[in-house]
Amino acid sequence: MNIAQAAAYIGIAKSTLYTWRTRRPGFGPRAVKAGGALRYRRSDLDAWIEAHAEALVLNPELDTDDSLGSRGNQSSTSGALRSMSRRSGPHR
């Protein structure tokens, strides 16, 4: 794929691919130079997407069928929000 096709495939601007290549070498997907033009293999783009996928973090306290509790009130929800803020640590 050319750079425009590769950018469209991974859903970013073409200029972003150029920036990753020049200002952040090694960050973006691997490219191949063919006749002086950049080309991207679909397999390299797929591998890059997979390597940069966000991990799903589950909170075991909330991993139930009834996440609001048996009463269905706001106390369980606010407790869940407190546990999420503790996990991220203090903000400065």
What's the average pLDDT block by block, 10 residues per block, for the chain (92 residues)? Answer: 94 91 87 89 93 76 54 48 48 52
Say whether both 67 and 79 belong to one domain. Answer: yes
Q: Say if 81 falls within a structural domain.
A: yes
Q: Say if 45 falls within a structural domain.
A: yes
Q: Work out how many domains the chain is built from and give that number.
A: 2
pLDDT at residue 62, rounded to an integer: 59
Say whether both 47 and 7 belong to one domain. Answer: yes
Say whether both 45 and 7 belong to one domain. Answer: yes
Which residue range(s) make up the domain with 72? 55-87
Q: Say if 92 falls within a structural domain.
A: no
What is the widest separation between alpha-carbon atoms in the chain? 67
Q: Say if 71 falls within a structural domain.
A: yes
Q: pTM higher than 0.75, yes or no?
A: no
